[in-house]
Amino acid sequence: MYNLKMTILGLPKIIGCEEFPKSDHGALLVDDIENFINKQYRFKGQQVIEAFEMAATHTLFLDGKRINPSTFGKYLSRASVGQVLTAYKEAKRDTNARPSGYNFNQLPEHQKELLSPEDAWDLMLTFIKKDKGLPFCGPYVGVYNYLIKNGLIRPVKKVASVGFGANMESPQRRSVEEYLLRNIINSQKTKSA
């Protein structure tokens, strides 16, 4: 078991609770919280500190509600520690589960300008080179506009889409994929053979 006593003794300062009493009751409370963390979470001291710092900056949520350390009471308890660490564990799980790649909603605010068709083309070529094939998610609309603008493909009739799945199988995307397979990907395979 990992010894968290020193870390636990510093947690009240992070979130504004009173320090643990310098008595047998305070020592029992610290021991109880340490055993609870070791048994239920198995976090290292740095993870516990990070969780409490996130709670202090009001960036942790549990069941859709922001963790508010001012509601913890006079001293830290097993319940308040559990609330913070569970929210931290969920925040880390959500962060690690996010897909990487081109996703407009994940771009920083300063990058949310629409890509020009030329930028979309360059980005698509980068993805193809990296993935050695068509990317699952990419700037297909921008590439379609680039190919039309440069007379490399003919416009296709747009189909009204309903939801995400329809966009993944649109005639525009199929037209772009066919062009890329025929003129970029297959030609790269031929050159390397």
pLDDT per residue, tens digit, the chain (193 aa), is 567 899 999 999 999 899 999 999 999 999 999 999 999 999 999 999 999 999 999 999 988 889 988 878 888 999 999 999 999 999 888 766 655 555 555 555 555 456 789 999 999 998 888 878 888 888 888 899 999 999 999 999 876 655 544 456 788 899 999 999 999 888 766 566 5
Does 142 share its domain with 168? Answer: yes
The residue segments making up the domain with residue 43 are 5-97
Using alpha carbons, list the distances in angstroms from residue 76 to 6, 24, 63, 121, 182. 14, 16, 21, 55, 64
Does 114 share its domain with 90? Answer: no
Does 177 share its domain with 118? Answer: yes
Q: Which of 75, 97, 119 is the last residue of a domain?
A: 97
Q: Report CA 151 to chain centroid distance, whole Å.
A: 38
Does 118 share its domain with 185? Answer: yes
Enumerate residues 6+ apart whose C-beta is below 8 A from 3. 34
Does 37 share its domain with 112? Answer: no
Cβ contact 41:70 at 8 Å: no
Does 84 share its domain with 10? Answer: yes
Does 64 share its domain with 137? Answer: no
Q: Which of 66, 97, 128 is the last residue of a domain?
A: 97
Instruction: Please check whether residue 103 lies inside any domain of the structure.
Output: no
Task: Give the amino acid at 113.
Answer: E
Instruction: Please check whether residue 149 lies inside any domain of the structure.
Output: yes
Cβ contact 102:127 at 8 Å: yes
Does 12 share its domain with 79? Answer: yes
pLDDT of residue 105: 56
Q: Which of 38, 63, 97 is the last residue of a domain?
A: 97
Q: How far apart are CA 110 and CA 133, in angstroms?
A: 29
How many domains does the chain fold into?
A: 2
Spell out a b/e string for 116-148, using b for 16 or more CB atoms within 10 Å of the CB, else e.
Answer: ebeebbbbbeebbeeeeebbeebbbbbbbbbbb
